[in-house]
Amino acid sequence: MDRAVLPAPPGSNPEWGIDDLDLDAYFERIGYTGSRDTTMETLRGVHRAHATTISWEILDMTAGRQVALDLPAVQQKIVRDGRGGCCLETNLLFAAALERLGFPVVRHIARVRRGSNAIRTRSHAVLLVEVDGELWMADPGFGDESPLEPIKFADGATLTVGDWTWRLDADGEDWVLRCLHADGWFDVYAFRLEQHFFLDFDMINHFSYADPRSIFVGKLVVQRGDEKIRQVLKENVLTTQHPDGTVDTQTLSGPEVADAMRDVFGIRLDEGDQKFLRERY
């Protein structure tokens, strides 16, 4: 297999700018205080801390601002300002942290399925990580359906954390992540092992979060998940999904949207963004 599609030693690709990451500040942001060795314990701990602390959110696009993927910009937004981010931002941040720790990593791009086989643009970042000669798929940045811990990169591999179960299946050239819902297996996304560069992620970022044809532009979406529930805020409607398939829905006022961003999704908002949300909703 082409080594370009497999995890590479840390620092092999300077274009990712991993030296710009303040690793101590990142760990403080996600509340991680565990080992920094290149072991499964470390990978699992950092992955889980990231997934349960940093929410998927696109407030910037709602407010008409651009999203930048260079590491200094991502670090300022998520680590120092206490915001969340889209999958490209959060998973590239996570990848930089893993490389700084010494893990071999490769960044891949996936097509979101969300239960549909319709062909959609490639829009999601997913990682392969090597630990003691074994490959693991890592993805704390998808949002509500994110696997909370790494899953072994093998056909049929499963992961159960709390009340949720995921499975990774080989389907021809595709690798498909599925999650077990109350009514059966749900396709989350699919990806292929292909070489990608920062420019590829930057182009995806532009189409997903700047192009007027994108379904995300101008809409507020925030997502998170933990061992028991998954929560999604779309505009001013907050839904909570339970493992048994039940869904609770709540319509929020402007001040309640700002409060939910802080209290439900752990996102720190400045006065300008709070005012924007109060007035918008």
Of 273, 237, 242, 248, which is closest to residue 258 (Cα–Cα)? 273
Beta strands in 114-183 (DSSP E): 122-131, 134-138, 151-152, 157-161, 164-171, 174-181
pTM score, whole prediction: 0.96
Q: What is the pLDDT of residues 54-72, one digit of tens each?
A: 999 999 989 989 899 999 9
Which pLDDT score is estimated for 274? 96
Instruction: Answer whether residue 122 shows pLDDT above 90.
Output: no
Average of pLDDT values for 216-238? 95
Which pLDDT score is estimated for 118? 79
Which pLDDT score is estimated for 149? 98
Confidence of residue 116 (pLDDT cuts 50, 70, 90): confident
Q: In what order do the strands lie in the sheet with 105-112?
A: 151-152, 134-138, 122-131, 105-112, 184-191, 174-181, 164-171, 157-161
Domain ranges within the chain, ordered by starting residue: 3-216
Return the CATH class of domain 3-216: alpha beta
The percent of residues above 70 in pLDDT, for the chain, comes to: 100
The pLDDT mean for the chain works out to: 95
Confidence of residue 7 (pLDDT cuts 50, 70, 90): very high
